[in-house]
Chain A
Amino acid sequence: MSGTPWFLVRKHLRVHWVRTTLTVTIVSVALLLFCILTTFVTSLTAAVDQAASNRIVVQSAVSLFVELPLDYHGKIANVPGVESVCKLQWFGGYYQDEKNSFAQFAIDDEVFLQQYENDLEIIDAPPGDGSLLDRVRTAMRADRRAAIVGEGLADKHGWKIGDPVPLTGKIFPKSDGSAWDFTVVGIYIPKRMNVDDQTMYFRFDYLEETLTQEQDQPIGCGTFFVHVAPGHAIDEVIANIDALFVNGPQKTLTSTEAAFSAGFVSMFGNLPLFFGTIGGAIVFAVLFSVVNTMLLAARQRIREAGVMKALGFTNRTVATLMLVESVSICVIGGLVGTGLAWVLSEGIRGVVSVMFPTFAVAPQTMLISLGMSLTIGLLAGLAPTVMLARLKPVEALRSEG
């Protein structure tokens, strides 16, 4: 007799449909959870992993919330190896309602667009000649209130090129209580994960000029983003910048973009570890449920295995069928769970976009998830498979199971 009767796998799965459904469900739920938890962690660390290698960030050594004097800009630019310097100041405003809070940064528009050429791509700009990027560059130069926004943010609020966007400043309120006026002149999508599509960038000089009229305090800037020229050692440039301000007025803390982003990740504390532990515990618990189920399935078919062996099917064939059954249950569960995570990803991102703007299930995560479902299937099927393979036909036929 040749060939393996694969249809038996299908039959078994169908006969014990309650068990099959339950097992597929639990595997899929576990892997859905695994994918989502992993994605929370990876979306946090993506900005670290995908940081630009030639970009360094200068900030106050005292606190992220302390502004550096504006004359630092020129001093940093004069450090050997510094190619360009871009001011970047957190604005902290909201659109219409405080619930619509998102990230806004005041930036030096020309330098910014050049520094971020490889990080974001302009997908919409005012009509005119030249590339989208050129048109945005011109439009930003022309209008003091110009701003570019991420696609996700634009979609959320229905903003289009030319639309006015009034923002109320929480850190920089206008003295008369009115909103700051911005005009959308560009929409971008991230090319790398160190940028998200929920952010607005606008001209620093608009902030500076308005604040100069509003208040008598000197205006500062929270961070300077510096590009290091090729051929210069990053560590050296970092050390030289910090050495410049070691005696004040504000000591600086310069680090690579990756280290700067890692600082934000660490603000989430033990969240990655916590998520990892939950995910691990659940996958482990599910593994045991599936092992139990497969042992049961094997016990129930001792007699059937005996019959098959008596008919001349090899030990290998009988055992393979068992293993295939276990693996297919788990892989189906894995596909369902992973697919569900992929489908839900967009919806989850909508809910958590304030804290996790780059939330998206990565292909690697899905691959790992499917790999895990396969592993669970193999591990769970191992003991029953060995048991059925070793079974003597006579004993099996005598069994009452």
Chain B
Amino acid sequence: MGLPIGYSARNLTVRRSSTALTAIGIALTVGVFTGVVALYQGFVDLYRPRGSESAGIYLRPGASSEGESGVTREQANIIIKGADEIAKNANGEPLAAAEVYLAVYMNKLSGGRTNVPLRGVQRMSLELHASGNLDLLEGQWPTWGANEVVVGAGITGRIENCRVGDTIRLNLTDFKVVGMFEHDGMYRGEIWGDAENMMTALERPVFQRIIAECKPGTDFETLGATYRDNKQTPLKFISEREYLSSQTTMLGPTLLYLAGGLIVIMGTAAILGAIITMLATVTARTHEIGVLLAIGFPRGSVFRAFLMESCSSDCSVGFSA
């Protein structure tokens, strides 16, 4: 003989205040737990391998990021024109570009200052970054040799002077915003302009990196060692994928431990919260359980009825949370 489902259902409405309290408690618990899972997902996403395996990045030896790097004009010429590993496009031009990188101060629309990555690019950069669905949403690409920039779609709504038609001042030079672009990766948060114009405006005589599409079968490790020991062009040469993953590992241990610790503590709190709430609910009704058993309902069906009650209330609350 089983307890009718109506028994569980009616219980929820009859004990209104108790149900409500339990529901709120569980809702908050579920909310916290959802936060934990979201946090975890965010981290998994952060550490997901990104970037092309066939693209090579050339930095100054010892530099661990573009910001610390410097590649001279001579080095860039030697590599782009002469390096064997660099693939060519249909017109026979090397698929490589020297780029300038600097995080510049800009004002947020919501107030306050922030760092916005500024990238001086070359004609070939557009072809090299096309694999990430590089797409011009509005306006046009900058005219080469002109003081013009395009802004990533990720910053247009966040940063001052980042709509098409606006003017961005870099030190003493004005740059006109002529377009807005979209990209799957981090480039959507950057401002791009002609590398030469940026170097002049910022009085920075060196590039920060060279990026190139390498021929299939390029052995990054062996070639990396060759470049490191090269007297004429000592460089750090790694694949784009390795470069990007090294950027997250730099943040790595700290953020990982931090998130791990948070997830464990929050999870514990959430589970304890649920246990306490359910324990309170069940203990409050020992008397009722006794009556049900005395009437002759088997233990199993009483257990099922309570389980159903708790599950249905928790699930409905969980969904709404």
Give every chain B residue within 8 A of A295 (Cβ-Cβ).
Answer: 18, 21, 280
Does A239 count as interface, using CB distance less than 8 angstroms? no
Residue from the list A18, A348, A354 in contact with B279, Cβ < 8 A:
A18
Segment from B107-115, B159-167, B185-193 that makes contact with A: B107-115
**B residues 12-65 in Cβ contact with A at 8 Å:** 18, 21-22, 24-25, 28-29, 31-32, 35, 60-64
Q: A22-B275, A169-B62, A173-B61 are in contact. Are A285 and B269 (CB under 8 A)?
A: yes
| Chain B 245-282: CB-based contact to A (< 8 A → 1; otherwise 0) | 00000000110011001100110111011011101110
| Chain A 114-157: CB-based contact to B (< 8 A → 1; otherwise 0) | 00000000000000000000000000000000000000000000
**How far, in Å, is B207 (CB) from chain A's closest CB?**
13
**How far, in Å, is A235 (CB) from chain B's closest CB?**
18
Cα–Cα, bound, A348→B63 (Å): 29
Cα–Cα, bound, A12→B141 (Å): 75
Decide if B276 touches A63 in the complex (CB within 8 Å).
no
Decide if B28 touches A281 in the complex (CB within 8 Å).
yes
**Most chain B Cβ neighbours within 10 Å, of A282, A291, A354:** A282
Decide if B67 touches A248 in the complex (CB within 8 Å).
no
| Chain B 267-300: CB-based contact to A (< 8 A → 1; otherwise 0) | 0111011011101110110010000000000000
Cα–Cα, bound, A168→B61 (Å): 11
Segment from A23-31, A102-110, A192-200 that makes contact with B: A23-31
Q: Binding site of B, secondary structure by majority: helix, strand, loop or mixed?
A: helix
Decide if B254 touches A62 in the complex (CB within 8 Å).
no
A266, closest chain B residue (CB): B112
Cα–Cα, bound, A247→B171 (Å): 9
Decide if B265 touches A292 in the complex (CB within 8 Å).
no
Decide if B205 touches A217 in the complex (CB within 8 Å).
yes
**How far, in Å, is B131 (CB) from chain A's closest CB?**
28
Does A15 count as interface, using CB distance less than 8 angstroms? no
Give every chain B residue within 8 A of A32 (Cβ-Cβ).
Answer: 265
A33, closest chain B residue (CB): B265
Give every chain B residue within 8 A of A267 (Cβ-Cβ).
Answer: 114-115
Decide if A64 touches B269 in the complex (CB within 8 Å).
no
| Chain B 113-130: CB-based contact to A (< 8 A → 1; otherwise 0) | 111000000000000000
Q: A33-B266, A251-B172 are in contact. Are A292 and B105 (CB under 8 A)?
A: no
A-B contact pairs, 5 of them (CB 8 A): A281-B28, A282-B269, A285-B270, A289-B272, A293-B276
Can you name 20 extra interface pairs (CB under 8 A) apart from A292-B277, A292-B281, A352-B257?
A: A19-B279, A22-B272, A60-B171, A62-B202, A64-B103, A65-B67, A248-B172, A250-B203, A251-B172, A266-B114, A267-B114, A278-B35, A281-B32, A281-B35, A282-B32, A282-B266, A289-B277, A293-B276, A295-B280, A356-B254
Which 8 pairs show the lowest CB-CB distances between chains A and B?
Answer: A285-B28, A288-B25, A296-B280, A173-B62, A26-B272, A289-B273, A289-B276, A63-B104
Which residues of B come within 8 Å of A, CB atoms? 18, 21-22, 24-25, 28-29, 31-32, 35, 60-64, 67-68, 102-105, 112-115, 170-172, 202-206, 234, 253-254, 257-258, 261-262, 265-266, 268-270, 272-273, 275-277, 279-281, 283-284, 287
